[in-house]
Amino acid sequence: MESVARGGTRWKRFAVVMVPSVAATAAIGVALSQGALAASFSVSGQSFKVAADKLDGKGMVQYGGVDVGVDMEGKKASHPVSVSAFNSAQITNMCQSVVTHVPVLGDITLQLRAGNKGKPVEAERLYIDVAQLDADAEFRDINIGVAAGQSTKGPGMKGGKEQANPNGFAQEADRAILTDIKQTAWATSAGTFKLSGLSMKLKKGKQECF
């Protein structure tokens, strides 16, 4: 679909740097669409929404953690999350959106869409830090109640600045298939993230994915 501090965007500066940052984002988007970059998305002090028709993930582990970053005022903020990690995943008809309030201009929505032209988004070593998830889910060869740090099916815990208990409760599965996905997340990271049919737009007002 990493701590909130990684790759954060200072939205107070958004109005000043809008044009160059959009150009840079477009360039990064092209590289991502060609599978050229590792991907890391997070918004300091702000969650974002992700919707998709389907996520087909192989090698899954899911465990609890805390994302630590800064809020809109630059103060430390913590957010409890459920980390869903996959060795690999294909995502069909993905939409990602974040809304920020820009002085004078009002609310602006940055919306990204991909994987909707017959070729899904492809991700390797995908981590999604989820605050809320609504979906229909099917798990295959699932183990419930394993220790997070002892999972053998998924890519393992993220490490680094992640705040999670390696001995805490987790579940794992050989395969997870989620459909009709609507989720709110604080961060997403992937070893590689290939966005087929990428489209990024800035829209006036609140025009979120759901």
Q: What is the pTM of this model?
A: 0.80
Please write the tens of the pLDDT for every residue from 13-56. Answer: 444 434 444 444 444 455 555 554 456 666 556 889 999 999 99
159-169 pLDDT, tens per residue? 766 789 999 99
Domain ranges of the chain: 11-204
CB atoms within 10 A of CB 9: 19
Which residues make Cβ contacts (< 8 Å) with residue 159, sequence separation at least 6?
none
